[in-house]
Amino acid sequence: MAPRVADVDARREQIGRAAIEIFARDGFQGAAVGDIASLAGLSKGSIYRYFDDKEALFHAAFEAVRMRLLRDCRAAMAEQDRAWDQLAAAVTATVEAFRSYIAIVPLTLEFWAAASAGDTRQRFGTVMADMYREFRELVIALLRQGQAEGDVDADADVEAIAAWLVAGLDGLMLQHWFDPAVDPLAGASSMLSTLRKGATNASQI
């Protein structure tokens, strides 16, 4: 109807918000493009003016969620001076992000599945690999700085630690999703304090 739409980016974002909600509720395969269109206040056909196909829509939804998480982490880190405190803040911010924006969880699970099997595997698999590399590298950098600042053992295997720290956060969110009695914050705190004691000679000996 409206020629020269006011703002293409705004419309894409509007559709993306609807996509997050529907994909989180119904899954990737289960979601109907028409439902996303309705929620965005458009018709099915219009979706295809802004996105090539359903997969592109899914990718955009996940990307939006990922950026939000990364932004929250960086914001929390900016408030701390020492690398160790920044790491703790990032971990806490991640858990908080999951709790305050719970749609992240089912959306992520759907994305994992899409990246691991079926036609979507190739397209989304590299996206996941890149994302985890990025998260691990963030943690590795903090741990290295922590070593320089004397909060982390010089001989700690920072790569391995980064992998299981990120892994632990994912897994805690997963268990919390299936069973709300599992407290992800308690788990993350325990993980951090154990790491603090287990990989820090300076403060113990």
Q: Is 121 in the site for DNA (CB under 7 A)?
A: no
Q: Is 6 in the site for DNA (CB under 7 A)?
A: yes
CA dist 165 and 167 (Å) reads 5
Q: Is 5 in the site for DNA (CB under 7 A)?
A: yes
Site residues (CB under 7 A) for DNA, limited to 20-49: 30-34, 37, 41-46, 48-49
Cβ atoms < 10 Å from Cβ of 41:
10
Question: Which does residue 102 touch among a copy of itself, DNA, none (CB within 5 to 8 A, set by kind)?
Answer: none
CA dist 171 and 20 (Å) reads 21
Cα–Cα nearest to 144, from 94, 84, 195? 84
Question: Which does residue 33 touch among DNA, a copy of itself, none (CB within 5 to 8 A, set by kind)?
Answer: DNA
Using DSSP, state whether 69 is helix, strand or coil.
helix
Question: Which does residue 198 touch among a copy of itself, DNA, none (CB within 5 to 8 A, set by kind)?
Answer: a copy of itself
Chain residues that interact with a copy of itself, rule: CB under 8 A: 23-27, 29-30, 105-106, 109-110, 112-119, 125, 128-129, 132-133, 136, 157, 159-161, 163-164, 166-172, 174-175, 177-179, 182-183, 186-191, 193-199, 204
**What b-and-e string marks burial along 53-76, b requiring 16 or more CB atoms within 10 Å of the CB?**
ebeebbbbbbebbbeebbebbeeb
Q: How is residue 68 written in tokens?
A: 């939000």
- Interface ranges with DNA (CB under 7 A): 1-6, 11, 30-34, 37, 41-46, 48-49, 53-55
